[in-house]
Structure 1
Amino acid sequence: MADTQQRPGADGSPPPMGPADIAGLLAGRIGQRRPTAAAGSPQPAVPPPVSPGAAVAVASAAVDGGVGAVPSLAGLPGALPVEWEVIEHLQSLVSTKLSAEDPDKLLEEADRRALARRLVRNAVADWATAYAQGNTPLTAEQEAAVGTAVFDSMYRGGRLQSLLDQDGVEDVMVDGLRAHVEYHDRPRQTIEKVADSHEELITWVNRMARLSGHGERALTQATPMVGFRMPDGSRVTASLLTTRPSVVIRRHRIRQHGIAELVQWGSINPMLERFLTACVHAKMNILVVGDMGAGKTSLLRALGREIPPSERLVTLESDRELYLDEPGPKPGPVTFAFEARQSNGETRGGGAAGEVTISDMFATALRFNATRVIVGEVRSTEIVPMLQAMSAGGSGSMCTLHVRRPHGIISRLVQLCTEAGMQTEAAHHLIASSIDLVVYLTYLDETAVGGQKHRFVSNIYEVHDVVGEGGRPVTTELFAPQGGEIRAVYKNMPSFIDELELTGLMRREWLTDNPFGAWMGPLATVGRR
């Protein structure tokens, strides 16, 4: 992603560069930093060259309190032995050859990528041969790392891919040139330099948007906020409204999991697995709520995979995260996955030109005669068509909602409904007539004190089709923390237990059978709670 000294081509890409040109570039920029041995003397073992950016990062860390306090991207395991501009020029060379061999893009995507891999191997081999003339040859591992970086720059996350490939990564937050990496099971790591300039970071964002098929989404002064998904499914949100250009990448570590995996991860216990699966088959309308990062999408995805294959499903998302239209661990329903579209930055008729919101998609989605509708996340006025779809025959529909505390669920729903123009009383009646079950996920992050991140169901509520005192919907707490256990434990029998038993997946006596409903050992928190 580094800036180059040469003029870009007409399409904005760097000009192609041959192996000899690249070898010369390397000889001038990297070879001069190596100590020169006397004639006839044995060549010393020379480590992979460090880029100027990495040297600055190490120097800065030393000044601020010790070398290595804030590592640079070049200092991570698997660091490249060459400057990133070499990767960009090799990418340009391979892209030119790829376009020549498949100019009309008639190849299937898998075949085109296989062709690209072959061209990358050949280009890197030619370059490495030219580079070795007058320089210490790269090892096979280093040459392979260069090839991987070239392919990643074409089809994956480019310079940031090495961060995304680390085990346990959940979020990568880029603030200007510095990145903060959040992990599932260890404290945050800060990387000093992931780009050479702010312009380079913006270029990366727009290239990722194009690779993801979101050509209408670009980070510019006209559209200073943009969101899209990367080719691997990671969700990207970028902005120019912050002090420095900023990017947040939400990594989806698991896409094909089912509800059984949630038991293994400790998000639910065997009783909740049976109960929630029965609720899906009994066509209960389910609302999954929790704080940011609590695992709402993971649970919703797992519940969606329990929908019988005989049904028809429509999913509505701002950015695809559910992937229920992709093959899963078992056959699923016929699924149509709708995705919102951002505007192109222009305005037309008082609105944003080209923009299609989740609310806009509802009318079309319902004409697909779907038996269920799933909304990835309700954030705004789409709450009204979602609840109306649930109450008007969309039994078994589901969605997620961001709520900080369990007791704030109804208030949050009412707030969104009133923002959409409804009266509070009408909102209460709509909520009562549409939602059957609310599942609350708790997020407990102990990585800062030597622990790990815990995500688990702590509360489940039944919403009755009546309003009580104050006109609010009547709710019953079915599962809640009890007796020192902070995770969900059975508390009250649901009024729809007969419907659950008809599915053949649930029996009412299981709810009161404590051994069956117990969690698999105590929660491994740092401080016993």
Structure 2
Amino acid sequence: MAFREMFSKNHRTTDAAPPASTETGRDDTSFYDLKHKIHGRLIEETNLAALDSMDPAEIKTEVGGVVEYFLQEEQALLNEEEKRQLIVEVLNELMGLGPIEPFLKDPTISDILCNTYKDIFVERFGLLEKTSARFIDNAHLMNIIDRIISRVGRRIDESSPMVDARLPDGSRVNAIIPPLAIDGPILSIRRFAVNPLKMQDLVNYRTLTPQIAEFLAGCVKAKLNIMISGGTGAGKTTLLNILSGFIPANERIVTIEDSAELQMQQPHVVRLETRPASIEGTGTVTQRDLVRNSLRMRPDRIIIGEVRGAESFDMLQAMNTGHEGSLTTIHANTPRDSLTRLESMILMTGTNLPESAMRFMLSSALDLIIQSTRLTDGTRKVTAISEVVGMEGEVITLQDIFVFEKKGVDKDGKVLGRFMATGIRPKFADRLELAGIEVPEDLFSIDRYYE
């Protein structure tokens, strides 16, 4: 039986033909109010269970027919374009995420930021812009938040007013509601590309150069311990995902994340994800718990989506005890800042470790720090690649191998600059050669510039 014929028993109209539309409906009711009313009637008066047995094209046809019927009953006069738009938005309410569904289908949008129900911003090509889309009210936004987090077994309420979750495509979701969010629910979606980016894409976007890309690929193959540093939206996770693609297919990889988003291409991958506390406040599984457990899973490589707490100590211990080739990201503005943040995280664990011993552990565990930065024009650049050399007295020694030298800004606001070698040959260059990675003699020449 067709969906449009499956009106429930409490359908409030008779079998008579619907009244003809008049020109008064559109004047009396705003488009958002009309959509809300039509959506409510669909839920109340139709058998939505019938949708489960239909394909998307059939659903669109059937819902379109029911919406046409309701529009005539509501005496709303809409032109064909407005009807088409209304049907699309009602479908998004029924099967998608309401007003933000079109943004999820737009590959040029990387972030969707809902500041309460009234304001929806998106990031496109690295720059924020306000959209004309909006939710009906805060309750409508809360309904969409509940729809997202219920899919991954998370919850949000007054007792637990913050939540991290993910969409089926791997996009990260964060929601925070009153009383912590003063003006109303806040929803932030950090999108992940449907088709994962490759290293060539970063070269095309001028995030780095082909020579630097080959160098980084060689570092991964040679099993260097690498940490990617950067601010919010700097492309750390994207770069981590791309670099992980150079791990040989015959190695066992264990990934550890707060919200699973890495898109590994290898056949032998074990994906682990943290778990928040239950409603009784029990059952929490932290990244530190997962790092410790991963050591018993015979990993060749351990990849931590982002190091942010007590797991830093266990991660560094793993890097120092035979688990070479590990990868992670960290929030920091410079390579030096990233080491300071790691020290702070270790101190937060309560580990009674002398400063000198802690820094020696850091210097011996890490080989390379990659700094990723989002510039003022919205572009992302690898602005520094630094080697962790060792200890000099009480200080961890870093040396830059490649840097991005900023030259200024053109009349269109585009950042001008060039990549350059510092003239320092890294100590691990011999490890690359022993691993069969070809290192050109002039790659690190101080006279070498990469435009």
* TM-score, normalisation: structure 2: 0.84
Is the contact between residue 319 and residue 340 of structure 1 (CA under 8 Å) also seen in structure 2? yes
C-alpha change, 1:23 and 1:356, in structure 2 (3 Å) is: farther
1:198 to 118, 138, 143: 138
SS in 2 for 1:119: helix
1:83 to 11, 16, 35: 35
Which residue of structure 1 lines up, in the alignment, with residue 343 of structure 2? 414
C-alpha change, 1:256 and 1:127, in structure 2 (3 Å) is: same
Question: How far has the Cα of 1:193 moved from its partner?
Answer: 6.3
Which residue of structure 1 lines up, in the alignment, with residue 297 of structure 2? 368
Which residue of structure 1 lines up, in the alignment, with residue 383 of structure 2? 458
Question: How far has the Cα of 1:151 moved from its partner?
Answer: 4.4
Which residue of structure 1 lines up, in the alignment, with residue 49 of structure 2? 96
SS in 2 for 1:467: strand
- In the aligned structure 1, how far is the partner of 2:332 from the partner of 2:23? 56
2:59 to 113, 116, 119: 119
Q: Which moved more, 1:160-169 or 1:423-432?
A: 160-169
Is the contact between residue 288 and residue 439 of structure 1 (CA under 8 Å) also seen in structure 2? yes
Does 1:214 pair with 2:139?
no
- In the aligned structure 2, how far is the partner of 1:28 from the partner of 1:427? 79
Q: How does 1:336-351 map to 2 (within 5 A)?
A: 336-347=270-281
What root-mean-square deviation, in Å, do the aligned CA atoms of Structure 1 and Structure 2 show? Answer: 3.4
- In the aligned structure 2, how far is the partner of 1:23 from the partner of 1:455? 61
Which residue of structure 1 lines up, in the alignment, with residue 374 of structure 2? 443
- In the aligned structure 1, how far is the partner of 2:383 from the partner of 2:164? 31
- In the aligned structure 1, how far is the partner of 2:195 from the partner of 2:230? 20
Question: How far has the Cα of 1:355 moved from its partner?
Answer: 2.0
Question: How far has the Cα of 1:257 moved from its partner?
Answer: 1.5
- In the aligned structure 2, how far is the partner of 1:22 from the partner of 1:297? 57
SS in 2 for 1:249: strand
Provide, for residues 3-51 of structure 1, a one-character-per-residue CA deviation record: whole Å limited to 9, x for no partner.
xxxxxxxxxxxx9699986999x98999633479xxxxxxxxxxxx842
C-alpha change, 1:230 and 1:22, in structure 2 (3 Å) is: farther
Which residue of structure 1 lines up, in the alignment, with residue 204 of structure 2? 264
- In the aligned structure 2, how far is the partner of 1:293 from the partner of 1:166? 18
What code does the residue aligned with 1:454 have? T
2:31 to 51, 64, 72: 51
Which residue of structure 1 lines up, in the alignment, with residue 176 of structure 2? 239
Does 1:33 pair with 2:25?
yes
What code does the residue aligned with 2:306 have? E
Does 1:426 pair with 2:357?
yes
Provide, for residues 163-191 of structure 1, a one-character-per-residue CA deviation record: whole Å limited to 9, x for no partner.
44446322222222222424233753334
- In the aligned structure 2, how far is the partner of 1:132 from the partner of 1:419? 64
Question: How far has the Cα of 1:296 moved from its partner?
Answer: 0.4
- In the aligned structure 1, how far is the partner of 2:323 from the partner of 2:260? 21
Which residue of structure 2 lines up, in the alignment, with residue 497 of structure 1? 429
- In the aligned structure 1, how far is the partner of 2:139 from the partner of 2:368? 47
Is the contact between residue 290 and residue 440 of structure 1 (CA under 8 Å) also seen in structure 2? yes
What code does the residue aligned with 2:173 have? V
- In the aligned structure 1, how far is the partner of 2:362 from the partner of 2:406? 31
- In the aligned structure 1, how far is the partner of 2:8 from the partner of 2:326? 52
Which residue of structure 2 lines up, in the alignment, with residue 169 of structure 1? 109
Unaligned stretches of 5+ in structure 2?
Answer: 1-6, 408-415
Is the contact between residue 225 and residue 237 of structure 1 (CA under 8 Å) also seen in structure 2? yes
- In the aligned structure 2, how far is the partner of 1:346 from the partner of 1:20? 43
- In the aligned structure 1, how far is the partner of 2:271 from the partner of 2:312? 18
Does 1:394 pair with 2:323?
yes
Which residue of structure 2 lines up, in the alignment, with residue 469 of structure 1? 393
Is the contact between residue 124 and residue 146 of structure 1 (CA under 8 Å) also seen in structure 2? no
- In the aligned structure 2, how far is the partner of 1:396 from the partner of 1:418? 25
Is the contact between residue 319 and residue 365 of structure 2 (CA under 8 Å) also seen in structure 1? yes
SS in 2 for 1:511: coil
C-alpha change, 1:251 and 1:31, in structure 2 (3 Å) is: farther
Is the contact between residue 314 and residue 372 of structure 1 (CA under 8 Å) also seen in structure 2? yes
What code does the residue aligned with 2:182 have? T
- In the aligned structure 2, how far is the partner of 1:317 from the partner of 1:22? 55
- In the aligned structure 2, how far is the partner of 1:29 from the partner of 1:288? 61
What code does the residue aligned with 1:51 have? F
2:401 to 466, 473, 478: 478
Question: How far has the Cα of 1:199 moved from its partner?
Answer: 2.2
- In the aligned structure 2, how far is the partner of 1:186 from the partner of 1:27? 50
Which residue of structure 2 lines up, in the alignment, with residue 105 of structure 1? none
- In the aligned structure 1, how far is the partner of 2:418 from the partner of 2:341? 23
Indicate the percent of aligned positions where both proteins have the same amino acid.
26
- In the aligned structure 2, how far is the partner of 1:237 from the partner of 1:22? 46
Provide, for residues 321-356 of structure 1, a one-character-per-residue CA deviation record: whole Å limited to 9, x for no partner.
2121xxx4xxx2411111112223422xxxxx1322
C-alpha change, 1:187 and 1:296, in structure 2 (3 Å) is: closer
C-alpha change, 1:127 and 1:434, in structure 2 (3 Å) is: same
Provide, for residues 386-425 of structure 1, a one-character-per-residue CA deviation record: whole Å limited to 9, x for no partner.
1112111111110000002333222111111111123323
C-alpha change, 1:205 and 1:482, in structure 2 (3 Å) is: closer
Which residue of structure 1 lines up, in the alignment, with residue 413 of structure 2? none
